[in-house]
Chain A
Amino acid sequence: MKISRNWLAQYVTIDCDLDTLCDKLTMAGIEVEAVETSHRVPPGVVVAKIIERAPHTGSDHLSVCRVFDGKQELQIVCGAPNCDAGKTVPLATIGTVFHSPEGDFVIKKSKLRGVESFGMLCSGRELGLSSDHNGLLILDDALEAGTPLETLYPGDSCIEVEVTPNRPDWLSHWGVARDVACLLNAEARLPELSLPPTVPAPENLVTVEEPELCPRYIGRIIRGVKIGESPDWLKERLTSVGLRPINNVVDVTNFILMELGQPLHAFDLDLLAGGRVVVRRARDGESIVTLDGGRRELSPANLVIADAEKPMALAGVMGGEYSGVSDKTVNILLESAIFQPSSIRATSRALEIASDSSYRYERGVDYDMADYASDRAAQLIMEVAGGKAVTVKVDVTPGRPEPRKIPCRFERIRKLIGVAVPDETMVDIFRRLRLEVSDWADGRCVVTAPLFRLDLEREADLAEEVARINGLGAIPIHPVVGKLVSSISDDAYWKYQQLRDELIGYGLYECMHYSMVSGKSALSDTRFTVNDLVVLKNPLSSELAYMRPSLLGEMLGTIERNVSRRNLNLQLFELGRVFCANPELYPEERHECCIVLTGQKQPERYSTELELKYDFYDLKGLLESWLERRGIVHYCFAPVEDARFEPGTAAAVLVNNRVIGHLGQLPTALTRSWRTQNAVFAALLDVDQLLAVKPRSIYYRALSQFPAVSRDVAFVADVGLEHATVTEFIRRAGLKHLESIELFDIFTDDKVLGPGRKSMAYKLTFRHAERTLTDAEVNAAFDKLRARLERELKVELR
């Protein structure tokens, strides 16, 4: 909503500067979004007196004038016929800049047909003050030479404000003026009416068939108007708020809309069949061509203003092209009406047309203003379009709505806003806001809201008025008292926060992706079919129609994007919500964790460390470390067939014999297509299941004070011999005081070991809790084990 400062000042005295005004508006809830100040005349134009006029020797239409600008006499060459000595005229001094669409024009010292000129005397059109270009603009002789013309024709500021949907009463200059008056402790006044004597109106001029949808319709006729251009003052008002002048009658209706917030419509009376209007629902099959030129098919959901035959306007939204005011119009029917907001909103949405009228009607228009607006518009039309006669108002209404009476307890308001505002101050605020205060006693009163304040219904609404006008800055700040009303164990975020911090601790980078994905992305996790996906009814685009069922799809996109930017070394994770429509598969919303490793492990180091690349065991090891750190001991990995991974590289992660996730190498066919030679490893874990595992309790174990003894055993075995078989065998062997078994080397080498063979080497550590072990007892046990390994596991000891 655009507000012109000068226009606003018609209704209330603004005795503060623009910045202060804007600040006050913003702090009262009328948020100023932008301010544009325009000069009416360029700075540099001053009042000047023509002292002498002489003809130009080289031209028959130019004159050479001597002009006083308040400081000095200047010679000016002028082409105007009226540059007579003794006249007071505007002078654009040297350096003045005229802005025009064709570019800037700067007044310079110049020579016209050989005679020097030190400035330019101006016409009304040159200054943009009028359309007159027949001669110089003649100013009042009483003006002092040198006076900047700006002070005579002050500029204006267009203040763009954001009006919240609860305050449609601010959608006009008068409405804003009312609040400005309250803020500045001034008085706001509407212009006095001076309507010529009225004549009777024809019977049946207005019929309202739907009083529910049209609680008030004021119609009146103005006869004998002459359609033409509006006077300058009217055009100026409209352009100051960004409206385009059209003709005098339409301009008046638009002016009233911006002045009072009351939408008006003017029909060409002679084009209305029967010379009357009917407010009714449209009939099926009816249509109308609206002023914007579009044909609209109507239904009974749309309220229309019809003549005796057909719809002539979409009520409160837009007039019809046929019956609108045109150059030929002589008699008009002027409508000032109130329509039900939801009906207007529905029509505006259904037919996809919005207008300044529908914008206001949707939010609510003041019942009481319709009356004054009709009179004021009639008066202005008579003034600017020369009407011959104006009829009385035909006011069709079931009656004025009852204003709301709101009980108000001052102490409750003080408690709610936290400021000790005295009762008297509150009453004063209400009254300054034009709210009626009655029954003021015992800390209570009754506030009656005027009909333009549709937002005031309850005590809390009055509290807002007090807080707003008393100033939100007056609300005191105190140290926060942190009242603990719940246990941290109820905190819904803590556990996810911990998981994330742990993964970041392992060196992973956290990612975040959008929750809405394409079908391709969603189904790249082959656990899901299209029937398992949660589908949006109104997606942003058909490409983004699904809620992600898995974090995998978008993570693949991120890997590809990074690889294409040659970020080849990635260690990523995401922890987020995923969605599933198939309750047999997963709950509708759950948390998942996706981890990805690829490329060099230590790209920022050097020498041999650069050669280390992530492999399957890095990802497995990460999961093992993480699970153990979380106090989970009963976990294992089992080979699975899983189409998301390269065949033979996929494993399920089981905790307490339940699958909580999978890991593996992404298909090389996929990763190769991303232009990376590095294998990519990924894991997907069901976070809610992971969090449901009860961690083991930690109890301190006594440390042995005695030294450990270790022995290494190395052997060559079939590649099929699993590590777990070896450790299990050693454990079962029951070696006394065996503390730990650690794999410290494993390799294959066809040349040295022969094909299908591998070398494994283990370190066995022995320790006794209460004494130092002797070499002899360790050796005896160790030798026995070596013999059994050779005999029973069929390995070749090295």
Chain B
Amino acid sequence: MMNAIIEKINAALADAERRLAAAATPAEVEQLRIELIGRNGLFPALSKEMGSVPAEERRETGAAFNAGRTRIQEWLEAAVQRLAATPAESMAKMDLTLPGRRWRTGHKHPISIVIDECVAIFRRMGFIVADGPEIESVYHNFDALNTPPDHPSRDPQDTFYFADGRILRSQTSPVQIRVMESQEPPVRIVAPGRVYRRDTPDATHGMNFHQIEGLYIDRDVSMSDLKSVLQSFAVEMFGPKAKIRLRPHFFPFTEPSVEYDFSCIMCEGKGCPVCKNSGYIEIAGAGMVDPNVLRNVGYDPEVWSGFAFGMGIERLAMLRYRIGDLRYLYENDVRFLGQF
């Protein structure tokens, strides 16, 4: 059964459909919205007429009213969206090739980037960072590390001395001693920091450079643990294909001692100028802490064992970023710093 209200609704829907299809501006859509569902529009008016509808028709009329209003709203919505999607006049005039207004970001120094990465990798493996003074005693830098009294590294040719007999630490290893002196095992630390050697600055040397040292002391620590930690580090630092290789070596403070190489990050071990066709890049030294060192800090070598390793941060940074000259790292040209 069709009453007057339903007829008006149907007529309004037909009219709206036609006009919305033809609408070209948001203003036309808005005009229709006001006519139909605005405060003084058709639907509010019809709503007032509902009272006069006979009781038996009320249900059907109400349903038609609600359905009609919902549809109008949907159509209006769709029309608004359609028109909004059309490029406005101002858009057509936009020059997308103009540079955006850049948001400045700061830049971390490549040495800091590498230290932070190393530290993050080792923290995940349960190491925390320890630190020590850079003006260090000969005892901590050499004696306690089992360095023989006439070892060449103690020579004033190689190490910086102060008048009071102290030195600038030539390695981060004295931090090992300081930590072991101040705490009972187990110990699991890394020590990044600045170290000093009496080298005239050139492409691969500086008066100071940075190392990161690692030390793990516990019961039953083995070379297998050392190798595993270094292998995990290589993978985290240089990607899943990175491999390590240990070679026997000699350091006074470890026994057995090794040097470790990473598979060349440039050629993945195939051989290239960077690795001098060996497929490997020499990184640094490591080994099982020498029983004499453990004894020097009051640890019983029959109970405790452990490993230590070190590596040069500048070397890692230069490899990672293919920086050919170490001096750029200390020159602080903003065109350099801005690249990292």
Which residues of A line the B interface, CB within 8 A? 26-29, 31, 164-167, 342, 345-346, 415-419, 458, 460-461, 463-464, 467-468, 472-473, 475-488, 490-494, 497, 500-501, 503-516, 534-540, 544, 547, 558, 561-562, 565, 567, 570-572, 577, 579, 588-589, 602, 604-606, 609
Contacts and interface: CB of A to CB of B under 8 A. Distances in A.
Nearest to A455: B250
A537 B131 CA distance: 25
Given A463-B256, A475-B224, A477-B228, A513 B330 contact: yes
Given A492-B131, A510-B112, A588-B135, A561 B247 contact: no
Nearest to A497: B116
Given A464-B256, A515-B134, 16 more contacts: A416-B305, A476-B224, A477-B227, A479-B228, A494-B129, A504-B107, A506-B106, A507-B104, A511-B332, A512-B332, A515-B168, A515-B207, A536-B162, A538-B160, A540-B207, A558-B332
Contact of A166 (B108, B168, B250, B335): B250
A537 B162 contact: yes
B128 A26 contact: no
A511 B150 contact: no
Nearest to B122: A482
B108 A500 contact: yes
Contacts of A562: 332-334
Contacts of B156: 537-538
B53 interface: no
A468 B333 contact: no
Nearest to A575: B112
Contacts, number: 237
Nearest to A577: B134
A457 to B, nearest CB: 9
Contacts of B130: 492
A483 B126 contact: yes
Given A464-B248, A486-B128, A509 B337 contact: yes
A588 to B, nearest CB: 6
A561 B106 contact: no
Contact of A561 (B133, B232, B331): B331
Given A475-B227, A506-B106, A512-B330, A482 B124 contact: yes
A464 B131 contact: no
B59 to A, nearest CB: 42
Nearest to B109: A510
B296 interface: no
B174 interface: no
Given A477-B227, A491-B129, A516-B207, A509 B338 contact: yes
Contacts of B93: none
Interface in B166-186: 168, 186
B208 A516 contact: yes
- Chain B CB within 10 A, most for which of A510, A539, A565: A510
29 contacts: A166-B250, A418-B223, A460-B255, A464-B248, A472-B227, A473-B246, A476-B224, A476-B227, A479-B228, A483-B186, A485-B126, A486-B189, A488-B123, A490-B128, A504-B105, A508-B106, A509-B337, A510-B107, A511-B332, A513-B330, A514-B201, A515-B207, A536-B160, A537-B163, A538-B160, A547-B135, A567-B335, A579-B134, A589-B133
B150 to A, nearest CB: 6
B196 interface: yes
Nearest to A501: B108
Contacts of B124: 482
A723 to B, nearest CB: 27
B224 A515 contact: no
Nearest to B261: A26
A170 B119 CA distance: 38
Contacts of A166: 250
Contacts of B135: 534, 547, 579, 588-589
A509 B334 contact: yes
B249 interface: yes
Contacts of A565: 333, 335
B195 to A, nearest CB: 10
A540 B200 contact: yes
B315 interface: no
Residue from A511, A571, A602 with most neighbouring chain B CB atoms (10 Å) = A511
Contacts of B187: 485
Given A463-B256, A464-B257, A510 B337 contact: yes
Contact of A510 (B106, B123, B161, B196): B106
B144 interface: no
B-side interface mostly: mixed
Contact of B246 (A416, A475, A507, A537): A475
Chain B CB within 10 A, most for which of A31, A516, A540: A540
B99 interface: yes
Interface residues of B, number: 79
Interface of B: 99, 101-102, 104-109, 111-112, 116, 119, 123-126, 128-131, 133-135, 150, 156, 160-163, 168, 186-189, 192, 194, 196, 198, 200-201, 206-208, 218, 220, 222-225, 227-229, 231-232, 245-250, 255-259, 288, 290-291, 305, 329-335, 337-338
A418 B104 contact: no
B224 A486 contact: no
Contacts of A28: 248
- Among A415, A418, A508, A561, find the residue whose CB has the most chain B CB atoms closer than 10 A: A418
Given A27-B247, A537-B162, A609-B101, A514 B206 contact: yes
B128 A345 contact: no
A475 B223 contact: yes
A479 B192 CA distance: 24
Contacts of B208: 514-516
A464 B257 CA distance: 7
B248 to A, nearest CB: 3
B333 A417 contact: no
B2 to A, nearest CB: 50
Contacts of A467: 223, 248, 256
B186 A493 contact: no
B224 A463 contact: no
Contact of B106 (A419, A482, A505): A505
Given A562-B332, A605-B101, A461 B255 contact: yes
Given A342-B150, A458-B291, A480-B229, A515 B247 contact: no
Contacts of A165: 250
Contacts of B99: 604, 606
A342 to B, nearest CB: 6
A211 B264 CA distance: 52
B198 A538 contact: yes
B334 A572 contact: yes
Nearest to B98: A606
Nearest to A494: B129
A29 B249 contact: yes
A419 B246 CA distance: 14
Nearest to A570: B334
B218 A483 contact: yes
A506 B196 CA distance: 32
Contacts of A346: 150
A605 B105 contact: no
A181 to B, nearest CB: 17
Nearest to A463: B256
Nearest to A506: B106
**Top 3 nearest A-B pairs by Cβ distance?**
A418-B224, A418-B222, A29-B248
Contacts of A606: 99, 101
Given A460-B255, A494-B129, A516-B207, A538 B228 contact: no
Given A511-B337, A538-B156, A493 B119 contact: yes
A602 to B, nearest CB: 8
B330 to A, nearest CB: 6
Contacts of A479: 228, 232
Contact of B105 (A497, A507, A512, A602): A507
Nearest to B158: A538
B249 A164 contact: yes
A537 B107 CA distance: 36
Contacts of A476: 224, 227
